[in-house]
A and B are shown apart, each in its own frame.
Chain A
Amino acid sequence: MIYDHLIAPFVEFAFMRRALVGALALALGAGPIGVFLMLRRMSLVGDAMAHAILPGAAIGFLLSGLSLFAMTAGGLIAGFVIALGAGFVARATELKEDASLAAFFLISLAVGVTIVSLKGNNVDLLHFLFGTVLALDDPTLLLIAGITTISLIALAIIYRPLVLECVDPLFLRSVSRAGAPVHIAFLALVVMNLVGGFHALGTLLAVGIMMLPAVIARFWARDITAMILVAALSGAISGYVGLLLSYHTGAPSGPAIILVAGVLYVCSVLFGPVGGLVRQMFPGRHLEA
């Protein structure tokens, strides 16, 4: 009975296994990235970047159809251009980075939509916004897994300066010149993971698998390592439960995955041991000497 509900769908159908592998790989890569975004108070940057890659992917689509390479390249280029452009404007002018990012992603979105409608062929935007986690083929899975691998290795390399920049950027600036390159490398990782997530979940939901697990993790752990573990784990749980939900109830798969993460988030806000509402109302006994 339990086997039938929880495991049989994945044994019986290869597309469910592929969707699960894709979702797990995404959770593993995007979760940690999300934690750093959250700690650096850049939670909404992920959202902005996700919108920024849409037109790039759409242009790739118009040029060569549903080609994995064209859409990936388009998304990456658009994402990098927006990230670097916004960063440059922020450094060179009075404008703060969030404001210039907002300007850039809105322009990019408008350009993308204009190009799509000028071409006259109305692309089914739903597929771009919500993705097709059920249709992952070998190249797409390899791409997502590759992005995750690169992200984890790169995070391991830049871990130290990145944590310092989250906690005390002024101190980092005083002892090292690594700040700027680390920042750029990190933004590159954000863009890559969003593009990977775009293939499975579309631009709207890719940012969900990145940020929701990170926000959940904030309620369960105090130190960064533990947060990263909780984020990756809760992302993986969301993927697994979301797919099962879609399989049993007929809910669309991408939104189902993010909805499960949303439910986990609400539970965490209520019952999380670190600053959860219930915990605040009934604090444990003070430790007294």
Chain B
Amino acid sequence: MLTRRFALASVLLISAHLSPALAQDKLNVVATFSILADLVKNVGGDRVEVKSLVGPNGDAHVYQPTPNDAKTLSDARLVFVNGLGFEGWMARLVKASGTKAAMVTATKGVKPRKMEEGGHTEADPHAWQSVVNAKTYVGNIYDALVAADPAGKNTYQANASAYIARLEALDVQVRAVVGAIPADRRKIITTHDAFGYFGAAYGVAFIAPQGVSTESEVSARDVAKIITQIRTQKIPAVFLENVTDERLLKRIAEESGARIGGTLYSDALTDEKGPAPTYIDMMRHNVKQLAEALTS
């Protein structure tokens, strides 16, 4: 009897010791892909431990979740998704993992662009390609983090406003660089049209040989159309992308006489050594590549 009471007391004592330690532990959150994870990191700072399901250079359109991902999800307090149909595999994964984590849709409040895709229209999910939308993402991330961890409100607020200031500076910079390109040369071809929001926000026409998703395969008709279009509209540059087949673009560039620009990053960041390890780096890199290919 005595020993049992002693045991109970010691358990209570230990857990009382542990609970402040737990509170100091980082908030476990999951983001579906690397760009979103970067935004969450910038708002969460040291209080938040962010995991990205699709890693750097991965293609979230055709991602195959692993059992490990289900485990990651079930350990998380918050799950950040892009929404707008970007992560088609997410609903199944959430169901399979049985996670209790709250789902946060980062694009809430973003005005979605419609895309023609195989005859029917659907929302274009690549909203982060406009810096203005990225600020909306940051707002949603901030709200979710404060709701899950009210004690960190001051930290999150400081982080979010500092980061939004950096985003605003980035927005000004992107506009300045694009503005320096002659208006009739602001059109390019790239592998998949992830740049609809970028184009609409900054006035560059992006034309893609494939649809909005990397899931569909190109036909000879598509390629012929693109080449004809480059020739007739005198499009100055073709860009490769880090997640789809570059051999096809090289072929198109060679045949149409357009210049091959550097790599643009659309759906995924690079690792630390690459040119786009963060969202801001990615946008700077992309706009620099555009300017180099289009101004000459």
* Residues of A that sit less than 8 Å from B by CB: 9, 12-16, 18-19, 66, 117, 120-122, 124-127, 130, 132, 134-137, 243, 246-256
Contact = CB atoms under 8 A, between A and B. Distances in A.
A219 to B, nearest CB: 29
B247 A132 contact: yes
A120 B224 contact: no
A135 B58 CA distance: 23
Contact of B247 (A125, A130, A135, A246): A135
A253 B62 CA distance: 21
A interface majority secondary structure: helix
B250 A135 contact: yes
Nearest to A121: B57
Contacts of A243: 220
29 contacts: A13-B223, A14-B254, A15-B220, A15-B223, A15-B255, A16-B224, A18-B251, A66-B246, A66-B247, A120-B58, A122-B59, A122-B63, A124-B214, A124-B243, A126-B217, A134-B220, A134-B223, A134-B251, A135-B248, A135-B250, A137-B247, A243-B220, A247-B219, A247-B221, A247-B224, A248-B221, A250-B222, A253-B220, A255-B217
Contacts of B248: 132, 134-135
A13 B255 contact: yes
Nearest to B246: A66
A19 B58 contact: no
Contact of B245 (A15, A124, A136): A124
A14 B220 contact: no
Contacts of A248: 221
A177 B129 CA distance: 67
Nearest to A134: B223
B199 interface: no
Nearest to A18: B251
B155 interface: no
Interface string B203-223: 000000000001101111111
Nearest to A126: B217
Contacts of A130: 217
B174 to A, nearest CB: 28
Contact of B218 (A13, A66, A124, A252): A252
B10 interface: no
Contacts of B223: 13, 15, 134
Nearest to B55: A120
Interface in B48-90: 54-55, 57-59, 62-64, 66
Given A122-B62, A122-B63, A124-B62, A252 B246 contact: no
Contacts of B217: 126, 130, 252, 254-255
Nearest to A12: B224
B220 A16 contact: yes
A15 B251 CA distance: 7
Given A246-B219, A253-B218, 7 more contacts: A9-B224, A15-B255, A19-B220, A117-B64, A122-B63, A253-B219, A256-B219
B30 interface: no
Interface string B110-122: 0000000000000
A16 B222 CA distance: 12
Contacts of A125: 62
B29 interface: no
Nearest to B245: A127
A247 to B, nearest CB: 4
B227 A132 contact: no
Contacts of A13: 223-224, 227, 255
A11 to B, nearest CB: 12
A251 B255 contact: no
Contacts of A121: 55, 57-58
B244 interface: yes
B66 A124 contact: no
A121 B252 CA distance: 26
B270 to A, nearest CB: 11
Q: Which of A9, A125, A247 has the most CB of B within 10 A?
A: A247
B252 to A, nearest CB: 8
B25 to A, nearest CB: 26
Nearest to B64: A122
A13 B219 CA distance: 14
A9 B245 contact: no
Nearest to B60: A122
A122 B244 CA distance: 11
B244 A124 contact: yes
B229 to A, nearest CB: 13
Contacts of A134: 218, 220, 223, 248, 251
A36 B243 CA distance: 40
B103 to A, nearest CB: 23
A9 B247 CA distance: 20
Contacts of A250: 219, 221-222
Given A66-B246, A247-B224, A248-B221, A117 B58 contact: no
A135 B209 CA distance: 13
B191 to A, nearest CB: 11
